Amino acid sequence: MSMRLSRRKTLGLLAAAPLAMSPAAARPLAALGPAAARAGLIYGASASRALFDDAAYRTLYLRHCRAITSDVDLKFDWLRPHGPARWEWGPADRLVAFAERTGMAFRGHALIWNENPPGWLKRLSLAEIRRVFDEHIDTVVGRYAGRVAVWDVVNEPFWPGHGRPGGYRDGPWLAAFGPSYVARALKRARAADPKAVLAVNEAHCERDDAVGRAIRKGMRRLVDGLLEAGAPLDALGFQGHLQPQLPYDDARFAGFLHELGAKVGRLDITELDVNDESFPDDVKRRDALVARRYRDFLTHVLRVKQVRAVINWQLADHYSWYAGLARNGELRTRRPPRPLPFDAAYQPKPAFGALLAAFEARSRKPEPGNRKGANR
């Protein structure tokens, strides 16, 4: 064995060591959902048609998840791809019914998002867009009223790169109403389903760079404005698509969560995964680094007592959105990404051990309280 190889191997073992020795990693067949519940958390994953097409994948959800988020099926462009009058309800109906049948809490994602507007929407006048906005919320939230535990009412309100005042993400809804579209969406959603928990879901707040800081600033202002205006904001979602090639300060992000948790009362990690494109090719080393990123993030975030849910964005690597990006050449490597707790053979990876260990650590602590009510 060459010097180089043995050094790489040593580094890999070192990276894996804290997890390999943890009691959680020694019991890889434990289920994540119950472990999370013991820590006052709900654990789940996003899902799309693979849940129905792939029985082995479905088994993973049934074993580990107590919540399901719609990955694409409830998005505007998937519900209404062809025009204002034609609705494609089938896939969303099937997902909501699955959650109901299996006793999983359903998170509706995403009601209003300025990204991916279908062509027909972009061609409407602003007055028509305003009508479609109201009609869309009334129709979609009304259809599933009483069956959706949490709605991501507004997804990703901020993207400073668009250069709009206040750092708002540009798109048809911002153009039609200005930033007040957020409060309007929350109010209409509340009227259509008085019982659903209503959330604003945001990306990139975890990053400790100019983008992350700008979006955190925007979120602080937005939350204060919504609460002052009496808008029905029950929860905030933080996606947690971790990008280890960027700077992070998990303790600072947890401080931000503390601050917002004191105002809003419920915070969820809604789309957790780890982009491994900057990690080495060697699968063992890569998996250990991904797991370490999960561990470091969750160690800080789960100390915040208002954090109530941890949701992965899909469950197994080959169904991750990163797999699609890699296939399309949109990552710096074309190798199959490994961002999730299970591999393409549905086997638990070190990331699984990191999740389990983080849940177990929180359940051993007297604080945070929140032991009850992890069921929505």
Instruction: Give the interface with ligand G3I as residue ranges (CB under 6 A).
Output: 48, 71-72, 75, 110, 116, 155, 203, 239, 271, 321
22 or 239: CB nearest ligand G3I: 239
Give the amino acid at 8.
R
DSSP state for residue 169 in the 8-state scheme:
P
Nearer to ligand G3I among residue 48 and residue 243 (C-beta): 48
> In whole angstroms, what is the distance from residue 324 CA to residue 330 CA?
9
In the block, which residue shows the tokens 């993973």?
60
Q: Judged by CB, which is closer to ligand G3I: 42, or 323?
A: 323
Residue at 340: amino acid letter = L
- Token pair recorded at residue 293: 């990123």
Q: Which is nearer to ligand G3I, 116 or 245 (CB)?
A: 116
Q: Which residue, chain included where needed, has tokens 């638990």?
A: 348
Q: Which residue has the tokens 């519900």?
A: 79
Rg of the chain taking only CA atoms, in angstroms: 20
Nearer to ligand G3I, 81 or 166 (CB): 81
Please name which of 294, 350, 341 lies closest in space to residue 320, comparing C-alpha atoms.
Answer: 341
Distance CA 335, CA 177 (A): 43
What DSSP string runs through 155-168? E--B-GGG--GGGB
DSSP single-letter state for residue 318: G
CB of 325 to ligand G3I, least distance (A): 9
Is 304:261 a contact under the CB 8 Å cutoff?
yes
Instruction: Give the integer Cα–Cα distance in Å for 203 and 197.
Output: 19
> Of 47 and 356, which has the nearer Cβ to ligand G3I?
47
CB of 327 to ligand G3I, least distance (A): 9
The residue at minimum Cβ distance from ligand G3I is 321
Nearer to ligand G3I, 111 or 358 (CB): 111
Separation of CA 323 from chain center = 17
- Any bridge partners for residue 47, and if so which? 70
Structural contact between residues 302 and 349, judged by C-beta atoms closer than 8 angstroms = no
Q: Is there a contact between 315 and 60 (Cβ–Cβ < 8 Å)?
A: yes
- Ordered DSSP codes for 269-290: EEEEEE--TTS-S-HHHHHHHH
CB of 86 to ligand G3I, least distance (A): 18
User: What are the φ/ψ torsions at residue 149 (nearest 5 degrees)?
Assistant: -70, -45
Nearer to ligand G3I, 22 or 270 (CB): 270
The amino acid at 349 = K
Instruction: Report CA-CA distances (Å) from 129 to 74, 84, 93, 134, 230.
Output: 19, 10, 25, 9, 25
CB of 94 to ligand G3I, least distance (A): 15
User: 273 or 360: whose CB is closer to ligand G3I?
Assistant: 273
Q: 3-class DSSP state for residue 316? A: strand
For ligand G3I, the closer CB: 76 or 133: 76
